[in-house]
Amino acid sequence: MEVINRHKMPTQPCDVRICNFDEVALGYTADLAQKEADRCLNCKNAPCMKGCPVGVRIPDFIAALKVGDIRRSADILHEDNNLPAICGRVCPQENQCEKLCVRREKLGGAVAIGNLERYVADWSLKNDTAKEKCSCNANISVAVVGSGPASLSCAADLARAGASVTIYEALHQPGGVLVYGIPEFRLPKKLVSEEIDRIKALGVNIVTNVVVGKTLYIDELLDAYDAVFIGSGAGLPSFLRIKGEGLGGVYSANEYLTRVNLMKAYDKNAVTPIIRAGKMVVVGAGNVAMDSARTARRLGAEVHLVYRRSRAEMPARLEEIEHAEEEGVIFDLLTNPVEILGKDGRVVGMRLIKMELGEPDASGRRSPKAVPGSEYEIECDGVVVALGTTPNPIIKDSFPLLGTTVKGTIAADECGRTNIDRMYTGGDAMTGAATVILAMGAGKRAAAAIIEDAKSGRRKNS
Amino acid sequence: MKNFEIIKKRRLAKNVCEYTIYAPSVARHCMAGQFVILRTDNDGERVPFTVCDYSRSEGTVRILVQEVGYTTLKLAEMKEGDALCDFVGPLGKPTDLSEYAKICLVGGGIGAAVIYPQAKQLQLEGKTFDVVLGAKNRDLLMYVDEFRGLADAFYPVTDDGSFGIKGFVTQELERLINGGMKYDCVFAVGPLPMMKAVCDVTRGYGIDTVVSMNTLMVDGTGMCGCCRVMLDGQVKYACIDGPEFDGHKIDFDEAMARGKLYAEHEHACRLRGGSWK
């Protein structure tokens, strides 16, 4: 059998893309999509599906694409995935569906399921103008708090099941991390709003500028709705807790990315200002660190990514790491910040220390140890701290009856049922910072639980 | 009435305007000490303003705005009947002075907007309190009549002596304390150097001092960390932990440096006369 290799995603050339914020990955052409779809072996037991947190019928949507029925392919995709054009771009497929694909290296590599998903979903956004509509039979009303991936997915499933759904969003624009966090060059905002429009077309009502816990209280929602879903995410940024972190020019990744993405500071004419550093240090090595580093590159900075472990331990997706490297981000590995240096209130440099790897720690990764006497200083005029986030405390503080964990996440069963009757959760608010697709999966499970509990009349405390 | 409509606009000084906004959703749970974030238009930035007054029955929220950058200049161009693009709140924690019996409210310049709702609140609670209000000159001294009607004693001061006593609020406060006033709390709001100076005075007398940190913000819900202040070596967020803090524990020097971060950007806004594009 002739081995056909996986078809690469066409991308903008490196030297061009670091000068713009347009999407890096250009998407398959019809021809590439057809050829890649033909690589799918259509396994009866569909191992790939076991890797999908929302259970997309992968072999079926690819089979429809194979025979040229792209509309049917899109319908199959939409049955299980409420945001396929987004997932096709930001899911870590290599750790999920594609990891379980039977086409291993010897057979040309896993089928590019994500790329095909993106192709079909994009086609659908362009061509399926008749949006899916639901007849809301208003048997149950649900308030959804937050409008990120968990909430959108939950709301869409609820609407399809006939519920009347209202989403309350704190910011001026819906989408959560999809609009404030993930950069334009990885996930165009126009596309996010088009996918959200699809969900609105299902009858979901979205109200912006409402901070639940401040503008509206949880008990008011419980009074007014049959159920409440909390998808408030994990938005609170962590800092390094070292000297100099309050200096001007030191950003949390959340702030840096929010200014650039949501507030459009990448546009020189934008009203929201951003410091355009000449030399930027990004601390951390997750996807958000890569997003920050690549954003800073596009804003014209020389970028150093400082990480205390080695490349092998970097938590970011391999694709993001490779893109960052291609774009000229310099990796300062086995290095840790000790102090941020300032002058007149602005950052002018950083003191770092070399690290070495010791025994594996609780996370299974080798734990880094400082090398005594190895401190050194570098100059920089900007710092982005991308060390993860913790759940936002507003809801917990405003509604202390809600059970939470020591980490600050909302305690719930596997379907998102909290200790409060008729109150559910999912996504980062429940698990701590994770991926878009895991949040979407949690949103779907909670939607199913809400419908099921409403039907069965199940009430925890009664 | 449109949501977020400017119902009333009143110019209080050359570059200071008072806006009454129709926002029942914000007014409903609003309390003294909290703030709102607004955007004037779709291209606008998110800017925080402390709530100066509110009416739950009328569904209105009042803010005091000094024209310094894009949003504030844009607001100045807007008329009654125009609506803001976004208006969200009430954010932050309400003021809590419940443990104090004799309070001195100290306001500097636009800080009058923050001590005014506090004065109303304290009067409602039947507490005794004095007000020391300072500004550069008479034109910039806000709500003089209102404070006179609310406070047990009202001490206006101006830098140039054009109204009240000539001098700074710190001098007046120190004079009162030395004169025998037994305040157990000073609530000081104004420009950062003024709040710092007030804290330097009260520290010497061991008087608890609460300040309101009007920092730069983006989301206002704890997400970005832009508003962080150092409180006794700990990072705190003005938006969710504040905006009010123990003034004796605040690192004002850092806060002042952070506050000036985008001063050039604001200056450029002023040069363009508010029409940014």
| R_g over Cα of chain A | 23
Residues composing chain B: 277
* Residues 87-146, chain B, touching A (beta carbon < 8 A): 87-91
Interface contact flag, A246 B70, Cβ < 8 Å: no
pLDDT at residue B30 is higher than 80: yes
pLDDT recorded at residue A462:
38
Same topology, domains A141-235+391-456 and A237-389? Answer is yes
Asked if A432 contacts A438 with a C-beta cutoff of 8 angstroms, the reply is no
| Cα of A172 to nearest chain B Cα, Å | 7
Parallel, antiparallel or unpaired: strands A423-425 and B5-13: unpaired
What's the topology of domain A237-389? Answer: FAD/NAD(P)-binding domain (3.50.50)
Which residues of chain B neighbour A239 with C-beta distances below 8 Å?
225, 228, 235
What type of residue is B27? A
pLDDT at residue A30 is higher than 80: yes
Interface contact flag, B219 A170, Cβ < 8 Å: yes
pLDDT recorded at residue B275:
45
Interface contact flag, A211 B89, Cβ < 8 Å: yes
Torsion of CA A62, A67, A68, A69, to 10 degrees: -70
Q: Which tops the pLDDT comparison, B268 or B100?
A: B100
Which residues of chain A neighbour B224 with C-beta distances below 8 Å?
237, 252, 254-255, 258-259
Average pLDDT of chain B, as a whole number: 92
pLDDT at residue A90 is higher than 90: yes
Name residues whose C-beta falls within 8 Å of residue B74's C-beta, 6 or more positions apart in sequence.
B40, B41, B44, B274, B276
Least confident of A40-44, A53-57, A187-191, A366-370: A366-370
Instruction: Name the CATH code of domain A141-235+391-456 (choices 1.10.3720.10, 3.10.20.30, 3.40.50.720, 3.50.50.60).
Output: 3.50.50.60
pLDDT at residue A417 is higher than 60: yes
Least confident of A2-11, A355-364, A423-432: A355-364
Asked if B148 contacts B154 with a C-beta cutoff of 8 angstroms, the reply is yes
CATH number of A14-127: 1.10.1060.10
The answer to whether domain B102-259 has CATH 3.40.50.80 is: yes
pLDDT tens-digit series, residues A124-163: 999 976 666 666 565 899 999 999 999 999 999 999 999 9
Residue of A nearest to B235 (CA): A241
Rounded to whole angstroms, the Cα distance separating B162 from B101 reads: 33
pLDDT tens-digit series, residues A200-237: 999 999 999 999 999 999 999 999 999 999 999 988 89
H/E run at residue A389: strand A389-390
- pLDDT interval class at A48 (50, 70, 90): very high
What type of residue is A382? G
Interface test with A, best of B213, B224, B270 (most A CBs within 10 A): B224
pLDDT at residue B123 is higher than 90: yes
pTM of the model: 0.93
Which residues of chain A neighbour B44 with C-beta distances below 8 Å?
271
Parallel, antiparallel or unpaired: strands A227-230 and A423-425: parallel
pLDDT tens-digit series, residues B1-10: 899 999 999 9
pLDDT tens-digit series, residues A437-447: 999 999 999 99
Torsion of CA A323, A305, A312, A108, to 10 degrees: 0
Interface test with B, best of A212, A272, A348 (most B CBs within 10 A): A272
Asked if A183 contacts A260 with a C-beta cutoff of 8 angstroms, the reply is yes
H/E run at residue B51: strand B47-55
Least confident of A272-281, A358-367, A452-461: A452-461
CATH 2.40.30.10 domain residues, chain B = 5-91
Rounded to whole angstroms, the Cα distance separating B83 from B174 reads: 44
pLDDT at residue B273 is higher than 60: no
Q: Which tokens belong to A211?
A: 């901070």
Which residues of chain A neighbour B277 with C-beta distances below 8 Å?
269
pLDDT tens-digit series, residues A261-306: 999 888 888 888 888 999 999 999 999 999 999 999 999 999 999 9
- Determine the average pLDDT of the residues in A33-44: 95
What's the topology of domain B5-91? Answer: Elongation Factor Tu (Ef-tu); domain 3 (2.40.30)
Which residues of chain A neighbour B223 with C-beta distances below 8 Å?
180, 235-237, 254, 258, 392
Rounded to whole angstroms, the Cα distance separating A186 from A182 reads: 7
Asked if B92 contacts B227 with a C-beta cutoff of 8 angstroms, the reply is no
Three-state DSSP class for residue A455:
helix
Rounded to whole angstroms, the Cα distance separating A318 from A312 reads: 10
Q: Which tops the pLDDT comparison, B274 or A23?
A: A23
Where on the phi/psi map is residue A329: left (φ > 0), alpha (ψ -120 to 50), or beta? Answer: beta
pLDDT recorded at residue B277:
39
Average pLDDT of chain A, as a whole number: 93
Query: Of B141, B229, B154, B138, whose CA–CA distance to B192 is shortest?
Result: B229
pLDDT recorded at residue A259:
93
Query: Could you state, in order of their start, the residue ranges of all structural domains in chain A?
Result: 14-127, 141-235+391-456, 237-389
Of B25, B218, B228, the CB nearest to A246: B228
| Phi, psi torsion values for A94, nearest 5 degrees | -65, -20
| Cα of A98 to nearest chain B Cα, Å | 33
- Determine the average pLDDT of the residues in B27-44: 94
- pLDDT interval class at A106 (50, 70, 90): confident
Residues composing chain A: 462
Interface contact flag, A254 B235, Cβ < 8 Å: no
Rounded to whole angstroms, the Cα distance separating A281 from A386 reads: 10
